[in-house]
Structure formats: C-alpha cells, structure tokens
Chain A
Amino acid sequence: MSTVQQLFRTGDTPLPDVIILTHKLTREYDMGSELVRALRGVSVQIQKNEYVAVMGPSGSGKSTLMNLIGCLDTPTSGEYWLNGQKVSDLVDDELARIRNKEIGFVFQTFNLLPRADALHNVELPLIYAGLSARNRRERAAHALERVGLGDRMDHKPNELSGGQRQRVAIARALVNEPSILLADEPTGNLDSTTSNEIMNVFAELHGQGQTVVMVTHEQDIAAHAARVITLRDGVVATDQARAA
C-alpha cells in the first residue's frame, strides 16, 4: 500500500483523506530536577482506512504518542489534526468530546467495568454521547454482534474468556463509529491463539473500512498491520509500508 504524504507546513490544513496528521509534535515532562523530552518532533500522516502499527522499545515515546493521538494528553508544541479538526489546542472537556466521538480505545487490560454486563460495558460511550437508553441498547447489541458476541450480551466480564473480554472492549471501541480504532498492546494479556483471534477481528474491521492504529512491541503482532512506524528516542526512526 502506497502512502502519499502531504507536504505540511504550519498554517496548512490536512487533505480530506488524512485522518491523523501530526506536525513537529513534542511532549516534554517537567520532572522537577530534569526535563524529560519524550517526543522531540514527530510528524506522521495516516490516511483513512490505513492499518498502522506503532513500534519501539520502551522509552521510545510510543506511549506518549499514543496518549496524544488518543487525545488523553496535549502536546508541548506542534500540531495534531484529527479528522480535519485541529485538536492540539483544545481544552479538557473539548478533548473528552473528541475522545467520545472520534476515538475507540482498546486497552491491554481490557478495562471493562467488572459489575456491568457486556451490553452495559459497550453502552458506556453512548451514555456520554447523550443517546437515549433504547437507542444505546440497539447500537451496543449491534456492536457486540459485529465482534461475534451476540449471544454473550448479559454476561459479566468474569464470565467471559480473555479473548471474549477483549472483543467486548473492541465492541465498546466501535460503538460510536469512531474515526480511528486506537489499540494499546491489545494482545499483551492474551495467549498466542487468542491473539490471532483478536488480530483476525482487527483485519476484518480494517477490511470493512475502519482505520486502525495499534501500539505494540511484538514483531509478529505488528506484522498484521499494513504499515509500521518505529519510534526511537522520541523521533520517527522508520516508517514503512508492508506488502499486504
């Protein structure tokens, strides 16, 4: 898959098909005695319906980049455009709205509410989107069916296997029809068979047109993506498309 990169300057607007665009993104942490420069100017562009893996050793800045892309954090400098909107200078509550509408998170530890059943877990983002209860249930049920858990809706997380839990989490990520599915080590807590199962779900969603960004440190998991971006010391080291 070939990616045409726009030549972006400060003041420009991304092309319509560019879902994610970062421009000279930096993030510094003031740790009191020293200044930690986690990102030192990252410029990447991700098109609609790409399947991208972000790799790098620990300390490379991939978690920081992930947090910025997921609108959980704001950059020290640089620009971040998500789905045609400049989000790098938004404030807390506006970012919450972006997270709700544009981003579907999949976490390593699933992060399901233990006391709520699968359906209610998937409903969560819709509550914050302000949907009516009936509307929420319909859409949550549909999302669970998409990941093959239509018959497990009333199960609590502890009544589900690891793979099923991660699929509930994926359903939750998809339920708001986000611009990007953002997965942070999605197979980190799963065995290899289950990992493959989850990767198949991702492939399927990608096939249906979903943009997927996945942070991982496992080479064979990254191999499922069509493009791999490698970070090292807070900058992009490699950015290569793979043969599908």
Chain B
Amino acid sequence: MPFYEAFRLAIQTIRAQKLKSVFSLLGVFVAVSSLIASCSISNGVNRYMTEKFAQTLYGVNTFQLRRRPMFTPNVPDSVWRAWARRPRIRFSDAEAISSGLTVPVITAWQSSDQVTVSYGNKEARDIELTAASERYFDIKNLNIALGRPFTGEENRSGAPVAVLGEAVAKRLFSDRTPLGKSVRIGGVPYRVIGVVEHQGSILGFPLDRFVVVPALSPAQNLVNPPGILDAFLVKAHSDVEMREAIAQAEGIMRGRRHLRPKQDNNFVLDTSEGVQRFWAGISAVLSTVIPGIVLVSLVIGGIVIMNIMLMAVAERTREIGLRKSLGARRRDVLRQFLAESTAIATVGAAFGILAGIGLTVLINKISPLPASISPMSVFGGAIMGAGVGIIFGVYPASRAARLDPITALRQE
C-alpha cells in the first residue's frame, strides 16, 4: 500500500471518528499553539526591548550622566544606600562636559518629577514634568505635531512656555487647540507652544502623559534643588563616537570629583546596554524555559495519541485481521496506523499554528505585551507535531502490524 493510500485511509478514519480525533489531537494542539504564542511574545518583547524600549528610554547612540543607573532591576538595599550617598549631578558638571568634549555631540539637561497640570477647572494628575534644555526633543526623538518646541533663547531665559504630551493636551483641551492657552504648573502659568505627536505605550505604560518646560523656567524648583540635574544627555553620531565621548566624559567627571585611580566612579555614564543586557538575561531564561514547557506538553500530547491509537488498535482488531487476510502485509498495517497518528498530530499542529497566530494577534490587540510571530516557531511546531505523531504512533502501529490474523479475525 503506497503512502498516499495510507494517508487517504487515515483521513477517512479521522473524519469518521470526529469526536475521538478531536480529543486525541487536543494535546498537540495545545502544545503547538502555546509554543507559537509564547515564542511570539518572547520574540515581540525581544524586538521591542532592543529596538523601541531602549531607544525610547535612552535614544540612539546616547548616554546619560547620572548619579545612578536609570534601569535598576534587582538591586540590594546596600547598593541603593551607596547610590543615595553619591553627590548629585550639577549644572556645572554638564557645562564642564559640554565644553570639554572633542567629539561632535548634541546635549541636553533633564530633570523630572510627577506634578499636576491644570487648565481652568480641569486637572491632569500624575503628569511627568520634565525641565529640559532645547535639544531634549532631538535626543529623545520627540516630533512636534502641533506648534513648535521651545528655543535655546527661551531655555536660557527660563521662559514660562510648555510643550505638552498628547494625552495631557487631550485631557485638558479635548478637541480644541491648546496653542497659546495658559496651563498652570505649581501655581505658575505656562503658555502652551507645542504638542508632541502620539507616542503610544511601552509595556502598558502610557508615554504621552508628560509636559516639557525649559530647564531654567520657574518649574525647575519643582523637580530638583537649585543647580541640580537628574541627567545630562549626550548624543553622538555613531556608536564609536559615543564610546569616545563616554571615555572623555568619564575623565572630566573623575577630575571634577577628585577621584584617585583606584576609586570607583561615583556617577554613571548610563547607556541602553544595561537594559539590553538585563533583557538578554531574561530572554535566555525564557528561551530555555518555554521549549521545556512545550516539550512536556508535547510529550503529554504524544501519550494521549499513543493511548488513543492503542484503543483504536484494540477496537479494530477484527478489521486488522480482515485486512491481513485480504493480503495486507505487516508494513501495510504499520503504515496505516502510523499515517493515522501522524495525520492526527499534524492536523492538531496545524490547528495549533492557526490558534497560536490568532492568540498572537489577540495578545497584540488586548494586552500591552508586544507579540510578533516567529517563523521558526511555526516551522518548529509543524515539524514537532508530525514528529510526535510518528514517534508515539510507532508502538501502537507495530502492535497492530504484529497481530496474528486468525486470532484477530476471531475476536468479537
């Protein structure tokens, strides 16, 4: 019996026993769909982390001079206390680096805190107020959708002007234009001169709930003590130039802090590498744990198929006896049952792939997790599905093939 006959027969049997087939392919279905969904999430988050997250938080080819790293997972209390004892970054530090760097860069000051912004009787709470210098928009890649950013002149003079995040503009002004209107921040009126285009969200955190004002405007007192910065942002043209700039900035800062050669830095020159390294660690764990879970569920799926096939062999003993009496050889019977288990597993895997893709789309729609289908997982799912059918089908099929036709025919 040729293979395609065996598969035709298998499909007929599966269609004739729909309910039983559905149960037997459930295991593989669950395994493959969860494989694809989890790989999609891990793949999506991975891309998100390396492409968007790091860039949004830090900017491309950008480093930040800070008292402590911005992204600090799993840090013990002792380290936190040591960070808190460090001197803060001063305006003068930023100015010294700006004039000391020989690499062409653009720089910005940045200090932030949560405030309430109001317009008339409307209030927007928990808004991130950032007091920054004018190049902040370039470094953070914030495009202005409406109006304009503030200028260097406005920054230096501390003009009370504000650029709103999209969510703040919507909250306070609904559909009317905020340009030229006056919002109050810490009791001081600020004239709205621009609105930043929609930024979306990052892992569920909205990115549009902010206001940017000039670093030297009155609001600087809301975010930091006088003369103090949260971060000094430096953006170079390339990765190589950024590294050169970091080396120069480190030298300048160590000199300013009077550190001896053996003393550690009491400041950080923070880049997106930290986040990426942290994520790479999580990603490595995920990429070993997920296949492990999938393997377990695949084995369970395989055992389900094996059991159902053993039942099928027992139920169809007479049919096997008949087929043998009509000239079926061992390999014909073997093929018939192997084809059946493989077809069940492959159909399960196919539905699993569809469900996995559906799940990925759904996750993208309704959850903050970014998911993107990894082609390898679809391919792997298909191969594993068929593989499970073959591996776990061998034992039942060989039992069927070895049946003695006389005994098999006599069975009631």
Are these two chains actual partners, yes or no?
yes
Which of A4-12, A98-106, A196-204, A223-231 contacts the other chain? A98-106
A100 to B325, CA, bound (A): 8
| Contact A72 to B406, CB < 8 A, known contacts A111-B318, A111-B322, A130-B2 | yes
Encode contact with A along B127-142: 1 for CB under 8 Å, 0 otherwise: 0000000000000000
Q: Are B330 and A93 in contact (CB under 8 A)?
A: yes
A107 within 8 A of B: yes
B235 within 8 A of A: no
A115 to B322, CA, bound (A): 14
Q: Nearest CB to that of A175 among chain B residues?
A: B326
Q: Nearest CB to that of A116 among chain B residues?
A: B12
A73 to B328, CA, bound (A): 15
Within the complex, the shortest CB–CB distance from A30 to chain B, in Å, comes to: 15
Within the complex, the shortest CB–CB distance from A49 to chain B, in Å, comes to: 23
Within the complex, the shortest CB–CB distance from A129 to chain B, in Å, comes to: 7
Q: Are B329 and A97 in contact (CB under 8 A)?
A: yes
Within the complex, the shortest CB–CB distance from A133 to chain B, in Å, comes to: 8
A128 contact from B12, B318, B332, B405, Cβ within 8 A: B332
Within the complex, the shortest CB–CB distance from A190 to chain B, in Å, comes to: 19
B209 within 8 A of A: no
- 82-113 of chain A: CB within 8 A of chain B: 92-93, 96-97, 99-101, 105, 107, 111, 113
Encode contact with B along A115-134: 1 for CB under 8 Å, 0 otherwise: 10000000011011110000
- 394-408 of chain B: CB within 8 A of chain A: 405-406
A67 within 8 A of B: yes
For A96, list chain B residues within 8 Å (CB). 324, 327-330, 332
A93 to B323, CA, bound (A): 13
- 290-336 of chain B: CB within 8 A of chain A: 318-319, 322-332
For B326, list chain A residues within 8 Å (CB). 99-100, 105, 124-125, 128, 172
State how many residues of chain B have any CB contact under 8 Å with chain A: 21
For A111, list chain B residues within 8 Å (CB). 318, 322, 409
For B331, list chain A residues within 8 Å (CB). 93
> Which of B2, B5, B323 gathers the greatest number of chain A CB atoms within 10 Å?
B323
A70 within 8 A of B: yes
Within the complex, the shortest CB–CB distance from A182 to chain B, in Å, comes to: 10
Within the complex, the shortest CB–CB distance from A186 to chain B, in Å, comes to: 15
Q: Are A105 and B329 in contact (CB under 8 A)?
A: no
For B330, list chain A residues within 8 Å (CB). 92-93, 96
Q: Nearest CB to that of A172 among chain B residues?
A: B326
| Contact A129 to B406, CB < 8 A, known contacts A111-B322, A115-B16 | no
For B322, list chain A residues within 8 Å (CB). 111, 113, 124
Q: Nearest CB to that of B8 among chain A residues?
A: A133
A120 to B359, CA, bound (A): 42
B1 within 8 A of A: yes
Within the complex, the shortest CB–CB distance from B139 to chain A, in Å, comes to: 71
| Contact A72 to B327, CB < 8 A, known contacts A113-B319, A128-B1 | no
Q: Are A125 and B327 in contact (CB under 8 A)?
A: yes
A92 to B327, CA, bound (A): 10
Q: Are A99 and B327 in contact (CB under 8 A)?
A: yes
A67 contact from B5, B324, B406, Cβ within 8 A: B406
Bin chain A's interface residue count.
20 to 34
Within the complex, the shortest CB–CB distance from A4 to chain B, in Å, comes to: 32
A125 to B326, CA, bound (A): 5
Q: Nearest CB to that of A113 among chain B residues?
A: B319
Within the complex, the shortest CB–CB distance from A33 to chain B, in Å, comes to: 20
| Contact A72 to B325, CB < 8 A, known contacts A93-B330, A111-B409 | yes
Q: Nearest CB to that of B319 among chain A residues?
A: A113
| Contact A70 to B323, CB < 8 A, known contacts A111-B318, A127-B5 | no
A107 to B319, CA, bound (A): 13
Q: Nearest CB to that of B331 among chain A residues?
A: A93
Q: Nearest CB to that of A97 among chain B residues?
A: B327
Within the complex, the shortest CB–CB distance from B399 to chain A, in Å, comes to: 15
A99 to B331, CA, bound (A): 15
For A129, list chain B residues within 8 Å (CB). 327
Within the complex, the shortest CB–CB distance from B336 to chain A, in Å, comes to: 10
A92 to B332, CA, bound (A): 13
For A70, list chain B residues within 8 Å (CB). 325
For B332, list chain A residues within 8 Å (CB). 96, 128
- 332-349 of chain B: CB within 8 A of chain A: 332
- 37-76 of chain B: CB within 8 A of chain A: none
For A124, list chain B residues within 8 Å (CB). 322-323, 326
Within the complex, the shortest CB–CB distance from B19 to chain A, in Å, comes to: 15
A105 to B328, CA, bound (A): 14
| Contact A128 to B329, CB < 8 A, known contacts A72-B406, A73-B406 | yes
Within the complex, the shortest CB–CB distance from B410 to chain A, in Å, comes to: 9
For A72, list chain B residues within 8 Å (CB). 324-325, 405-406, 409
For B405, list chain A residues within 8 Å (CB). 72
For B325, list chain A residues within 8 Å (CB). 70, 72, 99, 105
8 contacts between A and B (CB under 8 A): A72-B405, A93-B330, A96-B330, A100-B327, A107-B409, A113-B319, A115-B16, A128-B326
Among all A-B residue pairs, the 9 with the closest Cβ atoms: A100-B327, A128-B327, A96-B329, A93-B329, A125-B326, A111-B322, A99-B327, A72-B405, A115-B16
Interface residues, chain B, with chain A CB atoms under 8 Å away: 1-2, 5, 12, 16, 318-319, 322-332, 405-406, 409
Contacts A70-B325, A93-B331, A115-B16 known; list 13 others, CB within 8 Å. A72-B325, A72-B406, A72-B409, A96-B329, A99-B324, A100-B326, A105-B325, A111-B318, A113-B319, A127-B1, A128-B323, A128-B327, A129-B327
